[in-house]
Amino acid sequence: MKTLRIAAITALAFSPLALASTAQAADGDATVSVLHGVPGATVDVYANGKALLTNFKPGTLTDPVMLPAGDYDLKVVAAGAGADGKAVTEAKGVAVPAGANITVVAHLTADGKPILTPYVNDTSMVPAGQARLTVRHDAAAPAVDVRANGTAALKGLTNPNEAKAVVPAGTIKADVTLAGTSTVVIGPANLDLKEGTNTIVYAWGSAADKNLKLAVQTVSGMNSAPGGVNAGSGGQAAAQAAASDTGRYVAIAGVAALAGGVVLFGRRKATNR
């Protein structure tokens, strides 16, 4: 249901793009990014037997590309091993729904085995002045808490799950602790949560190998307009407009009185004569 709504929104949003480029079924496309979160292995990634990424290094996040919606067989092999090389990890029939914004992450499971996890990025609108923060646990590590400015914001997150929140835009100081403790395992790092974006933070690496790290992805375009512009509270401008009307009447009366006075003066003169 939610996916459908996201799909509908993104499809609408993309329609200008669809017109601009080849009008070829862009409605049926999905936006896909790939993150490499397996420490130590430079790899090639194949989609349905075709090279999607080569010489892909750990910690790298691709720019998003549009791919036709459908099911994809994804295979990660050691760099140069070829489409038929031994899989570091693979995932068959990964659903890429039309209009969705997806990040596929190659990462370690909680117990340290490589795996591919596709995530659907939440591109629903956020209120003006706000940003969405998404945190994904893609590390060989136990449950963690994510602290924002020293306070636990997202608690008990486990691999490969995500947690998200809509928060005021701005820079936060974030770190990751073992769940329920103040033992910092990653960070602190300053995160610039830009207004109208979904800032997605990935915790990846391995606790045992002491190479836990953060990767950050920003998906934009979720901004909405403020509720209005309330740009006057004195009423003086309105009062002045009204006063200038009153002033006109006063002037009219004055002119009339003056005219009357002139007539009167003239008449008196005539009478006296």
Partner 1 sequence: MTLTSSRRRVAAAVAAALLAGTCTAWFTRPAASANPADGDPFRASTTVTTLPPDDPALPTPPAGSSGAPPSGARSASGPAAKSGVPLLGRALPNAAEKSSLPAPTSFSIARLGITMKVRAEGVAGDGQMALAPSPADIGWYRYGSRPGDPAGATVLAGHLDEPDYGIGPLAKLVKLRQGDIITVTSGTKKFRYSVTSVTSIKKTALDLSGLFTRVGPPLLHVVTCGGNFDQETHHYDANVVVIAKPIR
Q: Which of residues 110-169 bind partner 1 (CB under 8 A)?
A: 121, 123, 125, 127-129, 169
Encoded amino acid at 261, one letter: G
- Write the interaction track for partner 1 spanning residues 61-100; mark x where CB under 8 A is met and - where it is not: xxxxxxx---------------------------------
Q: Considering only residues 60, 110, 118, 155, which one is a binding residue for partner 1 as defined by CB under 8 A?
A: 60
> For partner 1, which residue of 208, 238, 243, 246 counts as binding (CB under 8 A)?
238
Of 19, 25, 184, 251, the one binding partner 1 by CB under 8 A: 251
What DSSP element (H or E) covers 256? helix 236-272
User: Of 210, 227, 269, 273, which lies in the binding site for partner 1, with binding defined by CB under 8 A?
Assistant: 227
Residues contacting partner 1: total by CB under 8 A: 92
**Which residue in the set 210, 233, 269, 273 belongs to the binding site for partner 1 (CB under 8 A)?**
233
Closest C-alpha among 96, 109, 127 to residue 28: 96
8-state DSSP, 211: -
CA dihedral 93, 96, 102, 105 (to 10 degrees): 10
Q: Which stretch binds partner 1 (CB under 8 A): 85-93, 107-115, 140-148, 222-230?
A: 222-230
* Contact indicator for 38, 104 with CB cutoff of 8 Å: no
Burial (CB count within 10 angstroms: exposed 0-12, middle 13-18, buried 19+), residue 248: exposed
Q: Is 19 in the site for partner 1 (CB under 8 A)?
A: no
Interface stretch with partner 1, choices 108-116, 138-146, 148-156, 252-260 (CB under 8 A): 252-260
Helices (H) then strands (E): counts for the chain? 2, 16
